[in-house]
Amino acid sequence: MLLRHHDAANLAAECARCGVRSASVCAVVPDEDIEQLATYTQHLEFEAGQTFINQDEPAEDFFVVTEGHARLCTLMPDGRRQVTGFASPGQFLGLAADGNYAFNAEALTPLKLCRVTRHGLKLLMSQFPQLEQRLLTEASRELSVAQGRMLLLGRKTARERLASFLTEHAGMAACRDVIVLPMTRTDIADYLGLTIETVSRTLNALRRDGLIEIDHVTRIRLLDRPALEDIAAGGA
């Protein structure tokens, strides 16, 4: 995993992935820069269930996931919960910050991530302009995803939501039609704006219709991907 000299865009991710002082990074970044990187970045680990970003606290840090999965969610005072997204390795966390964090972030599985203070990030960006560009690209992509989720939450039926969820995950993961979900039914429900009961019932309905197979609670096989994608898009 070699870092191209002029592609500083991936720097943060690389630092995180390899550890700041790894050979590949040291090979291409001048020593004084490495010093700075070491000052501003930090490697962290959490076990499943731990919260590492707290809603309403000042958004001082910025994270890159390097291993494991995390869950981002927003809470209402009475306990209602909306999962706004799941983060997998390579994803940035904390972009969507405007003063205070508007969400909690919790480890779904054992999690490793790289932390940079916002101040550090600012310095890094001024030093590696391509990093800023990369972040902008990332933010644009996320915005695009967010719009899709608004359509899902505002207008899709339970069946369409589940179909969307399944195809979305099949798309990212190994291009296989077998997906392994690192999250619980409760997480899925809160992600899709449904209840666990509805998620359970709807998955079973899809199974009865011969569209999926449920090998194990967390292991689902997509038997008819095109049909699922059609349902997800609202085309039936």
Partner DNA sequence: CGCAACGTTGATGCACATCAATCCGAGTGG
Partner DNA sequence: CCACTCGGATTGATGTGCATCAACGTTGCG
169 binds DNA (CB under 7 A): no
Q: By CB under 7 A, is residue 48 in contact with DNA?
A: no
Shortest reach from residue 178's CB to a copy of itself, in Å: 27
Environment class of residue 176 by beta-carbon count within 10 Å: exposed (0-12), middle (13-18) or buried (19+)? exposed
Question: DSSP letter string over 126-155?
Answer: HH-HHHHHHHHHHHHHHHHHHHHHHHHHHH
Tell me the per-residue interface mask from 188 to 227 with DNA, x by CB under 7 A, - otherwise.
-----xxxxxxxxx-xx---------x-xxx---------
CB closer to a copy of itself out of 118 and 169 = 118
Q: Whole-angstrom Cα distance, residue 71 to residue 203?
A: 21
**Residue 93 or 203: which CB sits closer to a copy of itself?**
93
Nearest approach, Cβ of residue 27 and a copy of itself (Å): 27
The dihedral formed by the CA atoms of 157, 160, 164 and 166, expressed in degrees to the nearest 10: 110
CA dist., res. 221 & res. 225, Å (int) = 10
Q: Which is nearer to DNA, 10 or 184 (CB)?
A: 184
Site residues, DNA (CB under 7 A):
157-159, 184-186, 193-201, 203-204, 214, 216-218
